[in-house]
Structure 1
Amino acid sequence: MKKSLFVGCLVLLVAGGTQKLSSTAARAENLSQVAQLSKQSAKTPSQAQNQLKLLSTGTEPRRQLRLAPAENAKQTAQMTMKIDVEMSVAGQTQRLPAPPSIQTTVESNVTKVDANGDIHVNLSYLNSDVVADANTPPQLVNAMRSQMKKLSGMSSSAILDNQGNTKQVSFNLPQGLDPNTKQMMEQMMNSIKQLSLPIPAESVGVGAKWQFPNSVVVNGMALHQITTCELVELKDNVATLQVSIEQQAEPQKMTPPGLPAGTSVDLKSMNSQGNGQVMIALNQILPIRSNMSVHTNMEMAFKDAESQKEMLMGMNSVMEMMFQSK
């Protein structure tokens, strides 16, 4: 059971580094994943526009892309994430039973829109669960389900500017969490605070492309990432973006949640490549729909507390993320 739970933690570690990167304008989707994970209120400087690089303005006609939902606008959507993992230990490769898919229903409610375009939004989980097939170890299913269920019914608030930058987030940490789950949630929360995925200030048309480099910390792992967006369709108030992402991490010490006491983990290498498409209505906070596929390769060295022997482990994962408004 300990092995299954530990594998589950590693899977969630990879997921935490990539699941929030599916689109520039899906900022509220990013927040909704973990917006309830702390009792602190934090202000996040909006520095993203200083780093965004507009590669192409696209063809005529061009227009500014701005989020402009109406006050009291509500939206409900379902997010699904599933991962396929192949691991190698001491040179022996094995494909793990598919971890359960994670399904979450999220609701957004725009409470206020300021004169400068800032958007005040409440976000909440209506339900969060796992969906597994017959080959998934029951211990892993039950462990993941018990933790996901703790997210259901929680809420948060956020302020976004009309370019999708997060200006302020208020979090609530649920009561009664075990220390490992609390650590995982707090680390995910800190990762979200560092993520910013803006849209350009300039007017753009079909074919416009922009790029945004960033450095983030996910579950204690420092990542360098570059996200590239291309506007492939702009019709009425609906924009379709093609999104790609690259991530790399330098060798470093790791502290994934759920690590057995005394066990140390050294990251040898990590890189990810992902791509997908997202459709957004500029008068809504959550995407109409989106999909993203992320391929991650990691190599780690584990040292057991008792034997102090180092064991090399490689992980090759493919994560599929889908988002559909109801």
Structure 2
Amino acid sequence: MRSPTTLAALAGALVLALGGCGLFDEDETTSPTTTTPANTTPPATTTTGPRPAVVDAGDSPRRALRLSFTKGATTTAALTFDLDVSQESQGTTQSLDSPVVTEAVRFTVDRVDGDEADISFAFTEVGLDRAGTDLTDQEYSELTADLQDLVGVGGTGRVTEQGAFTAFSYETPADLDPKVADTLRQFEDQLPTIVVPLPTEPLGIGGRWRTTTTTTLAGITLDQTTTYEITDLTDQTMAYQATSQQSASEQDIDAPGLPSGTTVRLISSDVSGTSSGALELDSLVATTTSKLSGTQEIDLSEGSGPPQRLTQRLEAVLSVKTSG
């Protein structure tokens, strides 16, 4: 069995890259739980898509769904992220419990340019809930202090009336703490979850569309397909539910934080999820709850030794509430 430090570093990389998704397939006997905060700095995300494609136009009446922008308008998104990870190797299982992370992000429409808008955003609050973890008072205080550096950090972007983010960038100090950089990477990866991409064609209740994305993060390239369905539609509000499937082909992983001489190869990854929410068409962010789960198989090798198989199962819940 690899050391907890090695496995925790690997978990941090994979959770960031695969969206913190996982599934406990069966009951297992676990070793004592350990709490391990991620403190790696993965490479920047690169994403292609999403590309909305209509599957079913839904019932009549139908209409084109578009965001509307007002200069100076603000939306605050309160995000809560909860993650559980279980790792099994050579008949031994350990759990890595992370504290629940809460973040508040304020979005502002700075300029409207036709069917697009320039926006800015900033983190206004960050917190941790350590219930259910084994964090000591000192560890909790240190983590909380580290995350407070995130308050005030922000950036800019451009969003289309169909919910596509472009020109996304952070405005960060040169000496930004690596742990804060991790949180920023996670937030960037969560944007497709809290902003709903809208298709070109008119839709009605029951309308469905599908998006596909390819993302590279922490050295892992993965594909995700998400199918949305309209469950209710009024003049300004679209209620929806969605299912997603995420996969990654066999590939080597450049996982930060692992001991020198350790090589990692992702053998398989199967992650799925569901979400439901509501999008106010005059807001940038949807109110939503997303649940994701999946299993990853990884081979770890140290030096010239033979690879050892690690099975990692993850469960994550992301909830987003919005206010004006």
Which TM-score applies when normalising by structure 2? 0.80
Residue equivalent to 1:10:
11
Pair 188,176 (structure 1): closer, same or farther in 2 beyond 3 Å: same
Is residue 293 of structure 1 aligned with residue 294 of structure 2?
no
Residue equivalent to 2:57:
57
Q: Is the 8 A contact 1:5 1:140 kept in 2?
A: no
Residue equivalent to 1:99:
98
Query: Offset at 1:150?
Result: 3.1
Residue equivalent to 2:170:
171
Amino acid at match of 2:129: V
Q: Secondary structure at the match of 2:257?
A: coil
Q: Is the 8 A contact 2:289 2:317 kept in 1?
A: yes
Residue equivalent to 1:131:
129
Amino acid at match of 2:134: T
Amino acid at match of 1:72: G
Amino acid at match of 2:18: G
Residues 99-132 of structure 1 show CA distances to partners (whole Å, capped at 9, x for unaligned) of 1111101101111111x21011111101223211
CA RMSD of superposed structures (Å): 3.4
In structure 2, what is the Cα distance between the partners aligned to 1:176 and 1:258? 19
Residue equivalent to 1:26:
none
Deviates more, 1:139-148 or 1:229-238: 139-148
Pair 181,296 (structure 1): closer, same or farther in 2 beyond 3 Å: same
In structure 2, what is the Cα distance between the partners aligned to 1:59 and 1:229? 15
Residues 246-277 of structure 1 show CA distances to partners (whole Å, capped at 9, x for unaligned) of 01111111122322233211111111000011
Residues 59-98 of structure 1 mapped to structure 2, 5 A cutoff: 59-94=59-94, 96=95, 98=97
Residue equivalent to 2:207:
208
In structure 2, what is the Cα distance between the partners aligned to 1:5 and 1:111? 44
Amino acid at match of 1:234: L
In structure 1, what is the Cα distance between the partners aligned to 2:206 and 2:67? 20
Is residue 310 of structure 1 aligned with residue 307 of structure 2?
yes
Q: Is the 8 A contact 1:85 1:318 kept in 2?
A: yes
Is residue 219 of structure 1 aligned with residue 218 of structure 2?
yes
Deviates more, 1:69-78 or 1:168-177: 168-177
Q: Secondary structure at the match of 2:215?
A: strand
Pair 219,187 (structure 1): closer, same or farther in 2 beyond 3 Å: farther
Q: Is the 8 A contact 2:47 2:213 kept in 1?
A: no
Q: Is the 8 A contact 1:4 1:137 kept in 2?
A: no
In structure 1, what is the Cα distance between the partners aligned to 2:258 and 2:118? 38
Deviates more, 1:134-143 or 1:222-231: 134-143
Gaps of 5+ in 2: 22-40
Residues 207-258 of structure 1 show CA distances to partners (whole Å, capped at 9, x for unaligned) of 0001112221122111011111111111220111111110111111112232
Amino acid at match of 1:175: A
Amino acid at match of 1:92: T
Pair 121,300 (structure 1): closer, same or farther in 2 beyond 3 Å: same
Q: Secondary structure at the match of 2:171?
A: coil
Residues 151-179 of structure 1 show CA distances to partners (whole Å, capped at 9, x for unaligned) of 2210111111100112322322333246x
Amino acid at match of 2:14: L
Pair 144,246 (structure 1): closer, same or farther in 2 beyond 3 Å: farther
Q: Is the 8 A contact 1:117 1:161 kept in 2?
A: yes
Query: Offset at 1:142?
Result: 5.9
In structure 2, what is the Cα distance between the partners aligned to 1:259 and 1:128? 28
Query: Offset at 1:67?
Result: 0.8
Q: Is the 8 A contact 1:212 1:226 kept in 2?
A: yes
Residues 18-40 of structure 1 show CA distances to partners (whole Å, capped at 9, x for unaligned) of 369xxxxxxxxxxxxxxxx9xx9
Pair 47,97 (structure 1): closer, same or farther in 2 beyond 3 Å: closer
